[in-house]
Structure 1
Amino acid sequence: MASYLLRRLLQSIPLLFGISVLVFLLMQMTPGGPMSVGEGGASGATAAQLERLRGRYGLNDPILVQYFNWLWGVVTGDWGSSYQTGRPVLEVIGERVPTTLMLTLTAFVLSLVFALLIGVRSGIRKDGWFDHIATALTYGGLAVPGFWLALMLIFIFSYSLGWLPSSGLRDLRASHHGAGAFLDLVRHLVLPVLSLLLVSIAGLARHVRSSVIEVLDKDYIRSARASGLPEGVVIRKHVLKNASLPVVTIAVLMLPELFLGAVITETIFGLPGMGRLFVESADLRDYPVLLGILMIAALLVLLANLLADLVYSRLDPRISYE
């Protein structure tokens, strides 16, 4: 296993290099530039001041020189400084990571639990009333855009009913401590988590249902039932374990998808996470921060694929990477 992990990590290096080239070139091809907004351009700075800023950030260097200077900084741990605040990129991103992790991991765990419950029940009771209702709801969830769902949740539960706050992580009009602060945080997270949860459950539940139906048709399931094993034992020990294999990849790769979904969710609900930082940095042409977020997203996708392979080997002893 150690040799496999080392091999996969080494294989990731040229892939990350290619991704870094692509995202850097995309930043260079973006209309406008960092000196056209924020510090300088839009504030009426003179041409001499803008030229000094370009020299300060190395924007007058050839593209290859800019790229390799940035890449060397990434390798050595210096990801550059924000054009807007002058603070280190890793420090700016690090402040937003806890909010994004709290949002995405909560949505991931809950969506996995509910998708398994719905998908297994639908697969076992195929063509029953529960299956028909679940199928209609999951197809509806797949068809609904995430941003529209978030706006509808705000309209219903915040604007119309007034049950939940519509933005932020805490109530700025009150000072909460201890359990009160935790409950206030939970109230602010309900709608953002729900908007991610409903969309992700729909796709995953369909995969779970299909996998369960496929496994139930296998000969070893019929043999287990014919041998007199209780139905609950057959489902737990044989159906769930074997049906989980194709679902693992879908579930693990949900993490990067939830991260991308957080870009819209955090922006709509005003959450101070990496997704909202990405939108703000794009508006301000803050290229170092944008590049940092994109490279972290690429690394997250690679790690998710590696985690899926490791889970495969744990679930199915026939799979070996030695």
Structure 2
Amino acid sequence: MARRILYGVLRPLFWLWLLVSVIFLLTRLAAPTPTEQLGHPTTASVASPEKLRAAQWALRHRLGLDLPLFYYSVQPHPRYGSWIPSAQWHGSGNQYHQWLRQLAAGSLGNSYRDGRPVTTVLLDTVPNTLLLTLPAAIGTIGFSLWAGLCLTGRRWWQRWVLGLCVGLDAVPLFLVATTLVLVLANPDALNLFPAYGAPEALFETPGLWTRATHYMYYFFLPISSLLVVTVPGFILQLTAALNREVTMQYTITARAKGLSSEQVLRQHLLRNALLPFITLLTDLLPALLAGAVVVEVIFALPGMGRLLAEAAATRDHPILLGGVLLIAMARLLSYWLADGLYGWADPRLRSTSTPAHA
């Protein structure tokens, strides 16, 4: 039990902390801080140098950017210069330590743009992203299972479908989304769906059927974009696993007992072929969240992906860190879910001392 807790919980949490810490340091080192935007020529032209420096210092102090970045800082030696640098210890009075204290207390800080808590900003956009990613995830799993079962044993058209899947699997998401907009949301082609945007009162209309139709009308193209880029890879993996299981000896034994091809496929082959399929599921939810950034920008949907894109453009570091932390937690959750599914699909893995993905 101790080993399973170590490998299944503590080790993923350690990598989660390491990932977010590296991103925190890189964003503070590589990207300009919001105070540097005050030095823009348009800003400097309307303020004197003294007032500009005072405003920059006040903003840096308010955001906590006047503190050292990390516990140690390397500076040139006062006597030997940069040839022999000296390290200076800053103790707990640094930006990274203050950020860790906020994170341990359940706070992700405040946005640089409007001063709102990052948690509040993310919670306002996550529901819109879930309306996009959860149907795409369910549709990917359901359609892949159905297509894999239909393709197994049907050699005469399996080759054509798999060839199409290979081609679609190589197409980038932005190209798929743009093509759907040009074909299905273009007045010069087929003006069937809106090209961008969704009303704020989408689910306030009376009637369940009316709300469902409005949802499909505005989210059909974004969800279809995600399905087109995720489903082919799952179909290829599941079909290859099923075709491999068909050649096994237990398949011949099951048919010799009088089971039909459908019974052998659903009761015996599918469960064994699900193991590599479950491995792909660990990347499905994080991939959909990452794909939501592209889709929400193209279709102008007010979700977390669009929020992260705007935060990257405006150098809003707390929002970026909160979004990265949320995506990393989704990947961690997918790992734990995959461990449970591994144990369900293969009883032999239930007695192992470490998770299957470890």
Shared fold by TM > 0.5? yes
Q: Counterpart in 1 of 2:23?
A: 23
- Quick one: which amino acid aligns to residue 224 of structure 2? L
Contact 2:31 2:315 in 1 (8 A): no
Q: Could you say which residue in structure 2 is the equivalent of 1:85? A: 114
Work out the percentage of aligned pairs sharing the same amino acid.
35
Contact 1:118 1:134 in 2 (8 A): no
**Paired position in structure 2 for 1:319:** 349
Give the match for residue 210 of structure 1: 240
Provide the C-alpha distance between the structure 1 equivalents of 2:201 and 2:181, rounded to a whole number of angstroms: 18
Match status 1:48 vs 2:35: no
Equivalent position amino acid for 2:66 in 1 = N
Counterpart Cα distance in 2 of 1:52 and 1:289: 21
* Cα offsets for 1:194-242 (capped at 9, x unmatched): 0000110011100001100111111101111112112221111001111
Q: Matched residues in 1 for 2:17 and 2:136: separation?
A: 31
User: Is 1:106 matched with 2:139?
Assistant: no
Give 1:181 deviation, angstroms: 3.6
Higher relative contact order (CA 8 A, sep 6+): 1
The separation in 1 between residues aligned to 2:2 and 2:305, in whole angstroms, is 34
Counterpart of 1:151? 178
**What's the counterpart of residue 315 of structure 2?**
285
Distance 1:15 1:252 in 2: 16
Compared CA separation, residues 10 and 172, structure 1 to 2 (3 A)? closer
Is residue 150–residue 265 contact of structure 1 (8 Å, CA) maintained in 2? yes
Alpha carbons of 1:247 and 1:172: their partners in 2 closer, same or farther (altered >3 Å)? closer
Q: Please tell me whether the aligned partners of residues 34 and 287 of structure 1 are also in contact (alpha carbons under 8 angstroms).
A: no
The aligned counterpart of 1:34 is: 34
Kept after mapping to 2: 8 A contact 1:170/1:185: no
Counterparts of 2:282 and 2:11 in 1: how far apart (Å)? 20
Alignment of 1:255-294 (within 5 A): 255-294=285-324
* Aligned residue in 2 for 1:128: 156
The AA in structure 1 aligned to 2:127 is P
Work out which of the residue numbers 166, 188, 191 in structure 1 matches 2:218.
Answer: 188
Q: How many angstroms does 1:176 deviate by?
A: 4.2
For 1:183 and 1:313, the matched residues in 2 are separated by 39
> CA 1:240–1:15 in structure 2 vs 1: closer, same or farther (change >3 Å)?
same
Q: Is the 8 A contact 1:124 1:212 kept in 2?
A: no
Contact in 1 for aligned 2:185/2:195 (Cα 8 Å)? yes
Match of 1:293, SS state, is helix
Q: 1:241 to 1:85 in 2, by over 3 A?
A: same
Query: Could you tell me whether the CA contact under 8 Å between 2:148 and 2:238 is conserved in 1?
Result: yes
CA distance in 1 between counterparts of 2:332 and 2:302 reads: 25
Give the equivalent residue in structure 1 for 2:88.
none
In structure 2, how many angstroms separate the alpha carbons of the residues matched to 1:296 and 1:171? 24
TM-score, normalising length from structure 2? 0.83
Contact in 2 for aligned 1:150/1:192 (Cα 8 Å)? yes
CA contact (8 A) 2:312 2:320 kept: yes
Contact 2:151 2:239 in 1 (8 A): yes
Q: Which deviations, in whole Å up to 9, do the C-alpha atoms of 1:148-171 show, x marking residues without a partner?
A: 110110111111211101112238
Mind listing any 5+ residue stretches in structure 2 that lack a counterpart? 71-93, 354-358
Q: How far apart are the structure 1 equivalents of 2:327 and 2:236? A: 26
Which residue pairs with 1:237 in the alignment? 267
For 2:105 and 2:308, the matched residues in 1 are separated by 23
Q: Contact 1:169–1:188 at 8 Å: present in 2 too?
A: yes
Aligned to 1:141: 168
> What is the letter of the counterpart of residue 259 of structure 2?
L
Task: Report runs of 4+ in structure 1 exceeding 4 Å deviation.
Answer: 40-43
Counterpart CA distance in 1 for 2:97 and 2:16 is: 14
Q: Which is richer in strand?
A: 2
Q: Which residue identity lines up with residue 105 of structure 2 in the other structure?
A: T
CA distance in 2, matches of 1:89, 1:205: 38
Cα gap change, 1:233 to 1:181, in 2 (>3 Å): closer
Cα displacement string for residues 75-123 of structure 1 (whole angstroms, at most 9, x for unaligned residues): 1111100000100000001111111111111001111111122223223
- Residues of 2 paired with 1:7 and 1:171: CA distance? 43
Report the Cα distance in structure 2 between the residues aligned to 1:22 and 1:52, rounded to whole angstroms.
27
| Aligned equivalents of 1:90, 1:137: Cα separation in 2 | 42
RMSD: 2.0
**Structure number having the greater helix percentage:** 1
Any conservation in 1 of the 2:293–2:305 contact (CA below 8 Å)? yes
Whether the 8 Å CA contact 2:149–2:265 is kept in 1: the answer is no
What is the identity, as a one-letter code, of the residue corresponding to 2:250? Y
**1:118 and 2:147 aligned:** yes
